[in-house]
Structure 1
Amino acid sequence: MRRMLVRVVAGSLLFIPPSLAAAQWAPVEQVKTYTVSGSTGIELYSQIGEKGPLVGGQMRTIAHTDFKLLWSRNYQPQPDGSCKLVSARPSLTLIYTLPKAGKMPGALKAKWDTFAEGVRRHERVHGDMIVEMVKEIEAVSIGLTAADDPKCQKIRQDLTARLGEISKRNRERHRDYDKLEMNNGGNVHQLIFKLVNE
């Protein structure tokens, strides 16, 4: 229930030791909501189908985790003609879109609260996966060196290729997780079942 948007910006920073750099960043979280209403679980779920986040311009979903990722990177030519990436600092914003319900009868509210909390926890796992991906990118980036690269061009191509592989694995992780959660008997499937059945 998430899609990704990556924006990468190359820049420069003063040298920061890798251990210190890794300890200094944390993701920023934004939560967006859309409102549904109804007097039954089926009505609420029907509203989700009408108002939920539109993913890929084609399909509505219950919730959505997106992110914006910016990088400040310091490439430094070395005396031997190589280039080294001495620091790579991420700026990560996680963007959660979640359903929010208006007023409803007390018994339905209890069911909705269980559903909404389960959806929030599901999306939080997607957020954690994104953070793990960024940490992997950081680990691969800092200290990366390219020989015979005085203008620091080869190293950028090398890094781009490595990031492509990391991104591909990340997308597969998210797909596998959603498949597990949405399949018959999965956590999200059970949340929906309990909401719509009286």
Structure 2
Amino acid sequence: MRSNIRWHALALCIAFWPIAAHADWQAVETVKTYAVAGTSGAELYDSIGERGPLLGPKMRAIAHTDFKLTWTRKYEPQPDGACTITVNIPKLIITYTLPKPSVQLTGATRGSWQRFIAGVEAHERVHGGYIKDMVKEIEAMSVGFSVPDDPKCSKIRVELTKRLGEISKRERQRNSDFDKVEFSDGGNLQQLVLKLVREE
């Protein structure tokens, strides 16, 4: 097993700016793949180590969950001098990157790969769920958010950025904690990898 393969906890590609209050919205979730070579579980896993998404100069992941978050946001000065967010609508795109064999698999390898990739995707979609939870938390705290004595709506942006940073930090920690459990000795993802290599 390659020691340089680590699970990608999550990449943050977040752009905060510019919700009508509690507007209905749906995350857009897409899956893209990268090709891996091999006709056995061990060969496929070795190929993942060579072709998986890069996390750094020498570190590759098995799979990767990324997202882009933008907001349509309106700040409105109030008669009392405060500034209030009156519109705050998110646009969230989540992308899951997963490995895909470049040739059709057969026999035991096919079965072990199907179980492996199903488990990998299920893991990544937990990360996707955490992202959606984070956006809902941002939405809940942002709608109607107001800062007094801010007629130019400048203070509210600073205060909002602080609060968004705190929410984002909690989300990253949640993902990190989840990965630690999944890849611990006997953890779900560790077992998936071992079963793939052994073609169980």
Distance in 2 of aligned mates of 1:119 and 1:36: 15
CA shift for structure 1 position 148 = 0.4
Shift of the 58–9 alpha-carbon distance from structure 1 to 2, 3 Å rule, reads: farther
Matches of 1:143 and 1:79 in 2, distance apart? 15
Count the aligned residue pairs: 190
1:4 touches 1:65 (CA, 8 Å); kept in 2? no
Cα distance in 1 for partners of 2:12, 2:155 equals: 27
Which one-letter code corresponds to 2:67 in the other structure? F
Find the counterpart in structure 1 of residue 93 from structure 2: 93
Match of 1:107 in 2: 108
> Could you say what secondary structure the match of 1:167 adopts?
helix
Partner SS for 1:54 = coil
Q: How far apart, in 1, do the equivalents of 2:74 and 2:123 lie? A: 36
Aligned residue number for residue 27 of structure 2: 27
Please, which runs of 5 or more residues in structure 1 have no aligned partner? none
How big is the alpha-carbon RMSD for the aligned residues of Structure 1 and Structure 2?
1.2
Q: Secondary structure at 1:140's aligned position in 2?
A: helix
Shift in Å, 1:103: 1.5
What is the distance in 2 between the residues matched to 1:137 and 1:57? Answer: 33
Amino acid in structure 2 at the alignment position of 1:157: V
**Superposed displacement of residue 60, structure 1:** 0.3
Note the C-alpha offset of 1:39: 2.0
Shift of residue 31 of structure 1?
1.2
Deviation at 1:5, TM superposition (A): 1.0
How far has the Cα of 1:57 moved from its partner? 4.2
Displacement of 1:137: 0.5
Task: List structure 1 segments (4+ residues) > 3 angstroms apart after TM superposition.
Answer: none
Q: Distance in 2 between matches of 1:80 and 1:97?
A: 49
Counterpart for residue 67 of structure 2 = 67
Output one character per residue of 1:23-42: Cα deviation in whole Å (capped at 9) or x when no partner.
Answer: x2100112110111212111
Using a 3 Å threshold, how does the CA distance of structure 1 residues 57 and 85 change in structure 2: closer, same or farther? farther
Separation in 2 of the partners of 1:39 and 1:67?
32
With 52-61 and 136-145 compared, the bigger mean Cα shift is at 52-61
Separation in 2, partners of 1:112, 1:7: 36
Looking at structure 2, the residues matched to 6 and 55 of structure 1 have their Cα atoms a distance apart, in angstroms, of: 17
Q: CA separation of 1:149/1:58 partners in 2, compared to 1, >3 Å: closer, same or farther?
A: farther
Structure 1 residue aligned with 2:189: 188
1:158 equivalent to 2:159? Answer: yes
TM-score, with normalisation over the residues of structure 2? 0.91
Supply the AA of the counterpart residue of 1:99: P
Structure 2 unaligned blocks of 5 or more: 1-7
Contact 1:3 1:55 in 2 (8 A): no
User: Where do 1:1-198 residues align within 5 Å?
Assistant: 1=8, 2-10=10-18, 16=20, 18-19=21-22, 21=23, 24-101=24-101, 102-198=103-199
